[in-house]
Amino acid sequence: MAERMGFFTDSSVCIGCKACEVACKEWNGVPDDGFVFRATSYDNTGQLGADTWRHVAFIEQDDRWLMSSDVCKHCTHAACLDVCPTGALFRTEFDTVVVQADICNGCGYCVPACPYGVIDRRERDGRAWKCTMCYDRQLGGLEPACAKACPTDSIQFGPLDELRARAEARLERLHADGVAEARLYGDSPGDGVGGTGAFFLLLDEPEIYGLPPDPVVTTRDLPEMWWWAGGAAVTLVGAVAACFLGSRR
């Protein structure tokens, strides 16, 4: 296994240029998402989906704009991996999570399994699509297209441990400068998904950015559920056998 790689997105320096969205679409051949105009926002993509692997949120508040580029979190404990029946989803040597489109059968199990609502099925073919953290570029020793295109270094790519240390230092500087509302999101290995491979520095509560405050791996109870299901099956077989033997007598 190679060193774990990841994204650190610093929303405090995001200028909303959407260069990351364009670069992602160009490199990965992601189709347009309909060019939907939303009269309530300058955000023309709305949310992550099969045709939007990087999404720049525009959040208008009374005294400021908040902007942040969202992406698949590449969870440490990825529920999408747990539920995929075909092996289309796999974990790479960089510890990222990728969908193999040629293996995906469009079952859609991964869509509700994702605690962040990242994965989506494309209407044109029914298959699931999401950010691959530019797996092909990583194999060639290149950084993902979104990070390469970001003009302010809001999106930073590299070894995850180094990014976490860099994020802590950035947070300390912001707090020292009086930006008390700054916080990190998704950086802790102790959170509900074991930490993420893509984490963020935010300037408000996660919910403001459309992020769940306490994400959990949605398959965490599967082992216990299978245990109870197995016990119920054994009990049912025993009851049927007892009835059958009783009727024979």
- Return d(Cα 240, Cα 129) in angstroms, integer: 45
Q: Which amino acid is at 200?
A: F
Helix ranges restricted to H, 135-197: 135-139, 145-149, 160-176
Annotated binding site for [4Fe-4S] cluster: 14, 17, 20, 24, 72, 75, 80, 84, 104, 107, 110, 114, 131, 134, 146, 150
Name the H helices within the chain. 19-28, 79-83, 110-113, 135-139, 145-149, 160-176, 222-248
Question: What gap in Å lies between CA 196 and CA 200, rounded to an integer?
Answer: 10
Residue stretches of the annotated binding site: 14, 17, 20, 24, 72, 75, 80, 84, 104, 107, 110, 114, 131, 134, 146, 150
Short-list 72, 65, 74, CA closest to 13: 65
User: Phi/psi at 112 (nearest 5 deg)?
Assistant: -75, -15
Contact present, 166 and 187 (Cβ < 8 Å): no
DSSP 100-114: -TTT-----THHHH-
Give the Cα-Cα-Cα angle 118, 134, 190 (nearest 5 degrees): 55
What sign does the CA torsion over 189, 192, 198, 204 have? negative
